[in-house]
């Protein structure tokens, strides 16, 4: 969800106002995802590196997260949206932790779409924690080195219960992953629209789905043998 700051700057507004506008695009994207039959949508809302931003901006994002969760949880549940928060929780305030539990519990039984909010997430940190977990199991004797396969690694990540992403969209024209789902995106289709996140409407989401539908996914094979 990139470009909130630039969107605000273009309008002579404060950066946090870009994040507020960005929440509307979260709503639009969730609606469009449900309408298009998408079953998993992961939004990169706050990276581990984002703690390094000015305290006022970090506080504004945390407050916005709490306010949005409080205001939207029941509406999301009614739309069939189950919300999961993905990231390290140790650094969050009591208030944020309370909201995380609230939204996860309120929406737990919804079944149309799982909305994963990557919040205090970074892929290298996730992989590091996964490697620690695997090493621990080897030291305990519950896992053998030769038994480690790709599934063992996938299962050690925060995304263990999730499918790999089919498509990764980064708005605002930046063409990089910035520590997002590095292992999981091996065969993802990438899409980098110039649109800033607050301008990312339902129509923009539909356009991304159209782009995806036209891609030829070969997984290292040739088209004729793919089946
Ligand atoms: C990136 O734009 C955006 C963020 C770091 C924050 C995104 C957060 C929200 C939309 C609100 C969070 C709330 C919920 C409910 C998910 P940027 O600030 O890096 O933009 P720039 O590159 O133009 O400066």
Helix boundaries (H) for the chain: 4-10, 15-35, 55-78, 94-106, 123-140, 150-155, 202-214
DSSP 9-34: HHTT--HHHHHHHHHHHHHHHHHHHH
Catalytic residue numbers, as ranges = 2, 50
Three-point CA angle 3, 87, 102, nearest 5°: 95
CA of 1 to the centre of ligand 1 (A): 6
- pTM of the entire predicted model: 0.95
Mean local confidence (pLDDT), 117-124: 98
**For 31-85, what is each residue's pLDDT tens digit?**
999 999 999 999 999 999 999 999 999 999 999 999 999 999 999 999 999 999 9
CA of 18 to the centre of ligand 1 (A): 8
**Per-residue model confidence (pLDDT) at position 175:** 98
Q: What is the C-alpha to C-alpha distance for residues 101 and 109, in angstroms, rounded to an integer? A: 14
Is 211 strand, coil or helix? helix
CA of 52 to the centre of ligand 1 (A): 14
**For 190-210, what is each residue's pLDDT tens digit?**
999 999 999 999 999 999 999
CA of 190 to the centre of ligand 1 (A): 19
Contact in structure between 123 and 179 (CB atoms under 8 Å): yes
Contact in structure between 79 and 34 (CB atoms under 8 Å): yes
CB within 6 Å of ligand 1 — which residues?
1-6, 19, 22-23, 26, 43, 45, 50, 61, 64-65, 68, 117
Q: What is the C-alpha to C-alpha distance for residues 5 and 12, in angstroms, rounded to an integer? A: 10
Contact in structure between 86 and 118 (CB atoms under 8 Å): yes
Nearest residue (CA) to ligand 1, atom 15: 65
**Per-residue model confidence (pLDDT) at position 184:** 98
Find all residues with CB under 8 Å of 64, minimum gap 6, and list them: 16, 19, 20, 23
Mean local confidence (pLDDT), 121-132: 98
Whether the predicted pLDDT of 136 surpasses 70: yes
Q: What is the mean pLDDT of the chain?
A: 97
Counting Cβ atoms within 10 Å, is residue 205 exposed (0-12), middle (13-18) or buried (19+)? buried
223 pLDDT tier (thresholds 50, 70, 90)? confident
Three-point CA angle 74, 76, 77, nearest 5°: 65
| Torsion angles phi and psi, residue 3, rounded to 5 | 115, 5
Mean local confidence (pLDDT), 115-139: 98
Pocket test for ligand 1, best of 19, 23, 57, 66 (most atoms within 8 A of CB): 19
Q: Which residues pair with 81 in a beta bridge?
A: 113
Whether the predicted pLDDT of 124 surpasses 90: yes
Pocket test for ligand 1, best of 22, 70, 170, 171 (most atoms within 8 A of CB): 22
**Per-residue model confidence (pLDDT) at position 226:** 61
**For 2-19, what is each residue's pLDDT tens digit?**
999 999 999 999 999 999
**For 162-194, what is each residue's pLDDT tens digit?**
999 999 999 999 999 999 999 999 999 999 999
Mean local confidence (pLDDT), 101-117: 98
For the record, the structure tokens of 199 come out as 């301008």
Report which of residues 124 and 227 the model is more confident about: 124
Which ligand 1 atom is nearest residue 119's CA? 16
Which ligand 1 atom is nearest residue 196's CA? 23
**Per-residue model confidence (pLDDT) at position 227:** 59
Q: Which candidate, 167, 169, 143, places its Cα nearest to that of 156?
A: 143
């Amino acid at each position: 969800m990139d470009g909130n700051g630039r969107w605000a700057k273009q309008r002579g507004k404060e950066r946090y106002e870009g994040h507020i506008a960005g929440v509307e695009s979260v709503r639009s994207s969730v609606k469009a995802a449900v309408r298009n039959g998408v079953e998993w949508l992961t939004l990169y809302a706050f990276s581990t590196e984002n703690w390094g931003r000015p305290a006022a901006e970090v506080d504004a994002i945390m407050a916005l997260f709490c306010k949005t969760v409080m205001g939207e949880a029941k509406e999301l549940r009614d739309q069939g949206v189950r919300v999961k928060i993905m990231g390290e929780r140790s650094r969050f305030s009591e208030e944020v932790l309370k909201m995380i539990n609230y939204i996860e519990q309120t929406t737990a039984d919804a079944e149309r779409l799982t909305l994963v909010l990557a919040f205090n997430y970074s892929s290298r940190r996730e992989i590091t924690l996964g490697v620690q977990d695997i090493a621990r199991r080897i030291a305990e004797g519950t896992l053998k080195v030769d038994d480690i396969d790709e599934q063992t690694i996938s299962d050690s990540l925060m995304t263990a219960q999730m499918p790999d992403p089919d498509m990764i969209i980064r708005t605002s024209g930046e063409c990089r992953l910035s520590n997002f789902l590095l292992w999981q995106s091996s065969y993802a289709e990438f899409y980098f629209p110039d649109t800033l996140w607050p301008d990312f409407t339902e129509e923009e989401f539909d356009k991304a789905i159209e782009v995806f539908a036209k891609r030829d996914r070969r997984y290292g094979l040739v088209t004729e043998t793919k089946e």
